[in-house]
Structure 1
Amino acid sequence: MYVDIGNALSSVATPGVSCDSLERLDERVADAHERIERGITDREFGYAALALPEDTDADVIETAVEPLDDIDVDAVLTVGIGGSALGAATVSGALGPGSAGTFVLDNVDPRRTARLLDDLPLADTAVHVVSRSGTTAETLANFLVVRDAYEAEGVDWTERTVVTTGPDGPLRTLADEEDLPALDVPDGVPGRFSALSTVGLVPAAIQGHDVSGLLAGGQAGRESLSGSLFDCPAYALGAISYALEERGASQHVCMPYSEDLEFFAEWFAQLWAESLGKDGLGQTPVRALGATDQHSQLQLYRAGRHDKQVTFVRPREHPAVPIPETDVEGLSYLGGSTLGDLLDAEFEATEASLAAAGLPNVRVEIDRLDAESVGELLYGYEAACVLAGELMGVETFTQPAVEWGKRAARGLLGGGEFEEADAVAEKQRLLVE
């Protein structure tokens, strides 16, 4: 992974960070790195995520999905929510469908769920259901609906389902009763940090992707961690993001220049928001897609408030798709180049346009969209997030605001007595009809 923070310097952008400020900040980065290293070594809660490339066993995952070899799998359906789904979607989205298409049920919208199950060839669809607690209402509700759809078509769902969950709970009980392949969620790892584990890698394994390569890429990211932001791409990203927020960049736009990284932007949004949005702090993550959103959001970024950091993410290599030659006036300049050339030109022009407008932006690049590079990218962003949390002084690995909402919803559904549910009846109303 390569990170260029030149366009976030105060000589280019407002807000921006001076070189002297970065040198001073680097002393704090060194201290934070020591804390992170201790956490990784001791496998402390949260910090254990940065040990996943070493602790995740690719062979265990490959063995768990082997029973699916007897089925002609054309589609893989992940049933989960938040970190239990986004990591898998990001990995499979970045690497492509492989031998089977990627589908995700991570919401309880009845129209979407019904439409997806109507469209999927269930006899040829593998299911990966993920819940650490085994009690996540949205995940279990969707899984019950999925199971019912299989039974209605006379398809044996037990032959097509892999479970990833904790040691206890109803999902683990179901897996034991039905003799389903069951994997353990990693200890001490919040869901949003679990992409390089059983949680995120099962669909990739079913699709025939290189799980060992993904972990090797993550390990390369692990080995790149050092006590200086000037020597570590992940820490450069985390430190500059922290420094820009301190100076007023309250929004962080993640803009990949690859449609295969569109899920990555969604994954980033959860990682950044849920980890750093505490104590009145935290950048609001914004998802964009290059070059598409040059035609929808760029106007705001160039001419709107300077309260944003834009981070571009792209692979350096693209498939060769030539643009045909043409004699049409005004189009002939395109002939002889490729779509990749055009995408790169769009990227560089957008980057330069933001710098010209004085808006801070950061460039993150990987060599290509292969297993090793994707694994390193995911690890790098996780390490960047952890460092930013250390510098901000927040509890990076907790999500109390999310848990509040979960308790309220469960109380409304009759899943127990929770005082948070009472807040619903106390809603202030001013209805206009």
Structure 2
Amino acid sequence: MEVDIGNALDGALGLTETDLETLDESVATAHERIERGRRDRDHGYAALALPETVDTTAIRETARAARERAVGDGELDAVVTVGIGGSALGAVTLTDALAAGDTAAFALDNVDPAWVDRRLAEVDLSRTVVNVVSRSGTTAETLANFLVVREAMADAGVDWTDHTVVTTGDSGNLAAAAETHDLPRLAVPEGVPGRFSALSAVGLLVPALVGVDVDAVVAGGARAADSLAPSLFDCPAYAYGATAYALAERGAAVNAVLPYAESLERYAEWFAQLWAESLGKDGRGQTPARALGVTDQHSQLQLYRAGPADKLVTLVRVADGPDRPIPATDLDGLSYLADGSLRELLDAELRATEASLAAAGRENVRIQLERADAAAVGELLYASEAACVLFGELADVATFTQPAVEWGKAAARGLLGEPTDESEQVREKRELIVD
């Protein structure tokens, strides 16, 4: 993986290479803190040790046991993750990017009843494995959806205990259910916030169930871990994190992430949670915007190039992969497509977007993967996490906490019947209704 920060320099926000050289002293200090936290497995920093600590053998064996329990030697129709946020996005990102078989994989990560009913109707529940993920085992949305799935299985004449695997902490409702019903179970790693858990059992079980080489994913993460160095000029992850921080300090309040690969579209969603929940504190941070190249450049590029100069645009390129020739045509005006291919067109669109932004003085960074295979995606996820942690260190925010998220959870529980101070504030909402 490489990161090109050239187009982030000397643009509208005025960041220069000299500025980055000055910032590099702070990067070295932050690297020392990160390495110490990673070595000591401190809360949060333990995520950056996952390539060393994750037990892929246990994950693969649990996947095998869950599959055999559900379908024996038969075909697995679907794997459904019941979880929300970091309990689901890592698995979704990895399966969307890497799964190539016939087994569907998706997450019930919302409680919209029409959507939940539609998703469950799409699969054969008798040939489905349900992976329920919650560290506490008390997450309201996850437990509600789990109960809905259990009822749907009962209505279909399916024994839910034969089709359920649990990923949770040492105690709580899910841990108790796993023990009572002898369910296959994996542990949520200690000291790893959910949004940083993609390279743990939380993110890797579902990919293992659908045939992804999870050892290669972890090896890619290890490759990114090995590349961490005291200078942003020697480390792709730190180059990105430091540049994003420096631009944020100069007014880049938005970070628009455009993967130029359909298989990485959910990466932008995963990145959005990582960046927003980790860095949005004390008036600091960047608002992540999710987009997809080339699709969204036909609308959003107008804003990025000609709107407010308050954005960093992050383009993710995959250098090599499958291709398809563009058929010859005698239509007028299309001769420039002759002898071309879709990959060549995709790459031309990316380079044109970069040039368009740069010509307008709008800062952009290119993250490049050689190919979108298991090792490269694992490296991308780890490097993104390391970049986020570095940004947090430089901004002096509590990267691994999420007090605003917890406030919202407490408020929702209160509205459902558990008295909380937060719910009283919700009930006191000011209204000005126009109908």
SS of aligned partner of 1:130: strand
Contact 2:32 2:230 (8 Å CA) reproduced: yes
Further displaced range: 213-222 or 122-131: 122-131
Instruction: Identify the match of residue 32 of structure 1 among 30, 33, 44.
Output: 30
Confirm whether residue 108 of structure 1 aligns to residue 111 of structure 2: yes
Instruction: Identify the match of residue 85 of structure 1 among 78, 84, 88.
Output: 88
SS of aligned partner of 2:230: coil
Shift of the alpha carbon at 1:97?
4.2
AA matched with 2:429: K
Contact 2:260 2:315 (8 Å CA) reproduced: yes
Q: What's the counterpart of residue 8 of structure 2?
A: 8
CA distance in 2, matches of 1:302, 1:197: 38
Deviations 1:339-389 (A, max 9, x none): 111100100000110000110000001111111000000000000000000
CA distance in 1, matches of 2:159, 2:368: 44
Q: What's the counterpart of residue 127 of structure 1?
A: 130
Contact 1:98 1:209 (8 Å CA) reproduced: no
Q: What's the counterpart of residue 427 of structure 1?
A: 429
Confirm whether residue 382 of structure 1 aligns to residue 385 of structure 2: yes
Confirm whether residue 340 of structure 1 aligns to residue 343 of structure 2: yes
CA distance in 2, matches of 1:134, 1:16: 48
Shift of the alpha carbon at 1:99?
4.2
- Output the aligned Cα RMSD: 0.9
Instruction: Identify the match of residue 271 of structure 1 among 270, 274, 286.
Output: 274
SS of aligned partner of 2:354: helix
Confirm whether residue 52 of structure 1 aligns to residue 88 of structure 2: no
Q: What's the counterpart of residue 189 of structure 1?
A: 192
Q: What's the counterpart of residue 309 of structure 2?
A: 306
CA distance in 2, matches of 1:313, 1:176: 43
Stretches of structure 1 lacking an aligned partner (at least 5 in a row) = none
Instruction: Identify the match of residue 43 of structure 1 among 10, 28, 41.
Output: 41
Contact 1:96 1:260 (8 Å CA) reproduced: no
Instruction: Identify the match of residue 153 of structure 1 among 149, 153, 156.
Output: 156
Confirm whether residue 291 of structure 1 aligns to residue 294 of structure 2: yes
SS of aligned partner of 1:129: strand
Q: What's the counterpart of residue 399 of structure 1?
A: 402
Normalising by structure 1, report the TM-score.
0.98
CA distance in 1, matches of 2:276, 2:377: 21
Q: How does 1:411-422 map to 2 (within 5 A)?
A: 411-414=414-417, 416-422=418-424
SS of aligned partner of 1:320: coil
Q: How does 1:91-240 map to 2 (within 5 A)?
A: 91-240=94-243
Shift of the alpha carbon at 1:245?
0.4
Shift of the alpha carbon at 1:426?
0.8
Q: How does 1:307-326 map to 2 (within 5 A)?
A: 307-326=310-329
SS of aligned partner of 2:186: strand
Deviations 1:283-333 (A, max 9, x none): 000001000011111101111000000000121112021111112222232
Contact 1:16 1:360 (8 Å CA) reproduced: no
AA matched with 2:21: E
The number of aligned residues is 430
Further displaced range: 24-33 or 90-99: 90-99
Shift of the alpha carbon at 1:336?
2.0
CA distance in 2, matches of 1:320, 1:155: 42
CA distance in 1, matches of 2:120, 2:19: 54
Contact 2:278 2:392 (8 Å CA) reproduced: yes
Instruction: Identify the match of residue 249 of structure 1 among 245, 249, 252.
Output: 252
Contact 2:9 2:363 (8 Å CA) reproduced: yes
Shift of the alpha carbon at 1:102?
1.7
Shift of the alpha carbon at 1:417?
2.2
CA distance in 1, matches of 2:96, 2:117: 22
CA distance in 2, matches of 1:16, 1:311: 18
CA distance in 1, matches of 2:363, 2:99: 31
Normalising by structure 2, report the TM-score.
0.97
CA distance in 2, matches of 1:338, 1:150: 46
CA distance in 1, matches of 2:381, 2:14: 26
CA distance in 2, matches of 1:170, 1:275: 27
CA distance in 2, matches of 1:302, 1:180: 53
Shift of the alpha carbon at 1:98?
2.9
Contact 2:304 2:362 (8 Å CA) reproduced: yes
Stretches of structure 2 lacking an aligned partner (at least 5 in a row) = none
SS of aligned partner of 2:234: coil
Shift of the alpha carbon at 1:191?
0.2
AA matched with 1:357: A
Further displaced range: 335-344 or 200-209: 335-344
Deviations 1:121-159 (A, max 9, x none): 212221111000000000010011011111111122222
CA distance in 2, matches of 1:342, 1:161: 44
AA matched with 2:41: R
SS of aligned partner of 1:367: strand
Confirm whether residue 64 of structure 1 aligns to residue 78 of structure 2: no
CA distance in 1, matches of 2:101, 2:312: 34
Contact 2:99 2:210 (8 Å CA) reproduced: no
Instruction: Identify the match of residue 412 of structure 2 among 409, 413, 427.
Output: 409
